[in-house]
Amino acid sequence: MDRSSLFQLIQEQLDPENTGFIAVENFTSLVEDHELQLDPSKLDMLLALVQSNEEGQVCYQELIELMSSKRSSSFRRAIANGRRTLQREILLDETGLGLYKRFVRYVAYEILPCETDRRWYFHQNRLCPPPVFIAVVTIVQIIVFMCYGIMLNKWVLQTYQPDFMKSPLVYHPGHRAQVWRFFSYMFMHVGLEQLGFNALLQLMIGVPLEMVHGILRISLLYMAGVLAGSLTVSITDMRAPVVGGSGGVYALCSAHLANVVMNWAGMRCPYKLLRMILALVCMSSEVGRAVWLRFSPPLPSSGPQPSFMAHLSGAVVGISMGLLILRSYEESLQKQCSWWVIVFSFITFLLFAIFWNIFAYELLGVQIPPPP
């Protein structure tokens, strides 16, 4: 029997009066009579869902969503408010798993704070679509860096080379009319140390996040951090260029760290306190290095060095927009009022930045260094 026939049979035989609820005993007998094979995780969640209803019934719509591998916010709340936990042992105790499944389990405990969400993700994960966005961005950044490194024969402090700053990818205030530069600067890096730091964090944090939350959400978060970084520099550090993907990287990192803090008791990732301290130390060190290069460059240069404000604005994007994205696992963002507040705030900032870039430079008489 296919799934649509099952749904029709359930409604006709078990809920003929269209009450919206089905007794779990009737549903169990229906499953046994028709020899239907259900995913054990779904059957466990169905039993847990029943515990949230005093009459031992399950909502028909929530049953449909469960069978269709979808979960509404009401279904999640019903599970969370149930009077007993899922029947099986916790996911961490499962044995006999292959290498890939062990990695998926590791990702589940690394990213998700709720055991129900972890097990749901573990059983539903099909690696389709694969987490390609962060990987592709990192590969392109490495390729671009190697191309300029070979061309300039220089692998550190590349921004001191005029040919590097002439790149059509670098954001420069003198070229701000070329809109793509507000995004493309993320492929250019000051040197090997900045590239290594960004690539490492992108892969360690971005790939697991993309595996759990999907390419659309994580790419939106990353690109919002990148765009906010260049726009913030154009407002607060108007003479400085920008290079590096730190805006997107800090959006990912700050969102993940904030999610860990907000759900500290539920997170089961090992050594979470030590790892958080190390992450904060590394991020602070990178910001400190960027500030030093901006105001106390070690070598004479023909113009201002790249700004550090992209790091800070990326962190703000991660804490605001990213935290909501990561806390809304498998829930529609469009149905949440807080999501629209954040979107409206970001659009307001975007419009303000556009008008600022069009009019403020002339009105304030800012002396922009000539483009290389």
44-53, 69-78, 301-310, 348-357: least confident range: 69-78
Distance CA 89, CA 269 (A): 18
34-43, 147-156, 202-211: least confident range: 34-43
Which is more confidently placed, 9 or 194?
A: 194
Look at residues 199, 186, 189 and name the one whose alpha carbon lies nearest to residue 155. Answer: 189
Q: Compute the average pLDDT of residues 145-151.
A: 89
Distance CA 140, CA 135 (A): 9
- Catalytic amino acids? 246, 311
Which position has the token pair 């490492």? 200
Which pLDDT score, from 0 to 100, does residue 82 have?
A: 47
Distance CA 242, CA 169 (A): 10
Asked if domains 3-71 and 132-364 share a fold, the reply is: no
Distance CA 118, CA 89 (A): 13
Which is more confidently placed, 151 or 142?
A: 142
Q: Give the fold, CATH level 3, of 3-71.
A: Recoverin; domain 1 (1.10.238)
Distance CA 77, CA 199 (A): 37
* Contact by Cβ (8 Å): 229, 314: yes
Helices within the chain (DSSP H only): 3-14, 24-33, 40-50, 60-67, 73-80, 99-111, 115-124, 133-152, 162-165, 181-184, 192-201, 207-213, 215-236, 246-262, 272-295, 309-317, 323-327, 337-355, 361-364
Q: Compute the average pLDDT of residues 234-260.
A: 92
Give the model confidence (pLDDT) of 207-240 as tens digits.
999 999 999 999 999 999 999 999 999 999 998 8
Which pLDDT score, from 0 to 100, does residue 51 have?
A: 57
37-51, 226-240, 244-258: least confident range: 37-51
Q: What residue ranges do the domains of the chain occupy?
A: 3-71, 132-364
Question: Where is mean pLDDT largest: 70-84, 140-154, 222-236, 317-331?
Answer: 222-236
Angle, nearest 10°, between helix axes 60-67 and 73-80? 100
Which is more confidently placed, 248 or 45?
A: 248
Q: What is the DSSP letter of 35?
A: T
Q: Compute the average pLDDT of residues 94-106.
A: 84
| Amino acid at the residue 331 | E
Reported confidence tier of residue 129, pLDDT bands at 50, 70, 90: confident
Q: What is the DSSP letter of 23?
A: E
DSSP states along 263-295: TTTT---TTHHHHHHHHHHHHHHHHHHHHHHHH
Whether the predicted pLDDT of 83 surpasses 50: no
Which pLDDT score, from 0 to 100, does residue 263 have?
A: 86
18-32, 268-282, 293-307, 358-372: least confident range: 18-32
Q: Is the peptide bond before 129 cis (omega within 30 degrees of 0)?
A: yes
Q: Residue 355: phi, psi to the nearest 5?
A: -65, -35
Predicted TM-score of the model (pTM)? 0.81
* Contact by Cβ (8 Å): 251, 219: no
Which residues on neighbouring strands pair with residue 352, listed in sequence order?
none
10 Å Cβ neighbour count for 149? Answer: 18
Q: Which CATH architecture describes the domain 132-364?
A: Up-down Bundle (1.20)
**Angle ∠(334,336,338) on CA atoms, nearest 5:** 115
